[in-house]
Amino acid sequence: MEREAFIARLREQLGRAVPVRLSAHGHEPGDLQAVARFRRPLGDPAAAFTAEAEALGARVQRVGPGGRSAFLEGVVREHGVSRAVVSRDPEAADTARLLGEMGVEVLPWDGPAAAAAADLGVTGALCGFAATGSVVVASDRAGGRTASLLPPVHAVLLRVSSLVATPGDFWRDPARFFPGGLPSQVVVITGPSRTADIEVVLVRGVHGPGHLWVGLLDE
């Protein structure tokens, strides 16, 4: 369809004129946009991250040295976890042993079948965004893709020192986070999985875990 004919149809449907030319919006750096949009001080990244993540339905806990077991025990008790898979992220080291001591069966994570059979997936995180309450999971360090995707509950262990203020701080410097090059998959997770594409009814857990826990590691 010719451009003018298309615009004429819009005018007819709207019952008012449609501008033929639109002036361009001024460019504003992404960091400034994030600060203005979220209107939350980012000087304390952990506090900002917690507020944003919890507003989206995630559960966030500060985890001090020696506090991983208590954090995981809370997740297991809340959701009645009996089987879990654990990624190979460095933050998740020793997690399998801790879960085993709680009576949780830790399945060998060698593919999607194990993750699909688990009640809980535990991973680390490469990074977190304070402005959006997001965590970044990379497939190379995790050892796969499905521990954060298929179980109905996802528990993330994220170091406070790995938080950055905004997404721009992460994407502007990929060499810092991926010195060996980008892995096959990088996922930015913001809150539990949710969708409203069917009859505009919000449903959790359709495209991923319906429950997200984040342990902020003060280590």
Q: What is the pLDDT at residue 30?
A: 53
List, in order, residues 6 or more apart from 64 with CB less than 8 Å away: 218, 219
Q: For the chain, what percent of residues have pLDDT higher than 90?
A: 70
Structural domain spans, the chain: 44-217
**Per-residue pLDDT at 136 exceeds 80:** yes
What is the arithmetic mean of pLDDT over 95-104? 98
pLDDT for residue 118 is more than 90: yes
Distance of CA 140 to the CA centre of its chain: 17
Of 176 and 31, the structure prediction assigns the larger pLDDT to 176
pLDDT tens string 142-189: 999 999 999 999 999 999 999 999 999 999 989 999 999 999 999 999
The pTM assigned to this predicted structure is 0.81
pLDDT at 76 over 80: yes
CATH says 44-217 is which class?
A: alpha beta
